[in-house]
Amino acid sequence: MVLFGSFFNGGALKGNDTLFKVGQKIQSKSNGSICSIKREITLNNIKHFEICFENDSAKREIILSEHALKLNYQL
């Protein structure tokens, strides 16, 4: 019973768990490029992350929503 209580009350069904944190390295699922998360931004109650591409001569930084990161990047 303790397992079910922690499952229902512990946030497993709420979906509020964020896998991405500032300072993490993430990898693109499409081309395998490595990026690092620079900062977290909240716009209109939606989490966005500014990411910077590693090994890029221009050091591009882009802002993606949390949903876009979940779809296109992996830890």
Spatial separation of the C-alpha atoms in residues 75 and 28, rounded to whole Å: 9
CATH fold of 19-74: Thrombin, subunit H (2.40.10)
Spatial separation of the C-alpha atoms in residues 11 and 3, rounded to whole Å: 13
24-75: per-residue pLDDT in tens? Answer: 999 999 988 899 999 999 999 999 999 998 887 777 889 999 999 999 998 8
- Tokens linked to 40: 């977290």
Q: Give the sheet arrangement for strand 61-65, strand by strand.
A: 61-65, 46-53, 34-43, 25-28, 73-74
Model pTM score: 0.69
Q: What are the residue ranges spanned by the domains of the chain?
A: 19-74
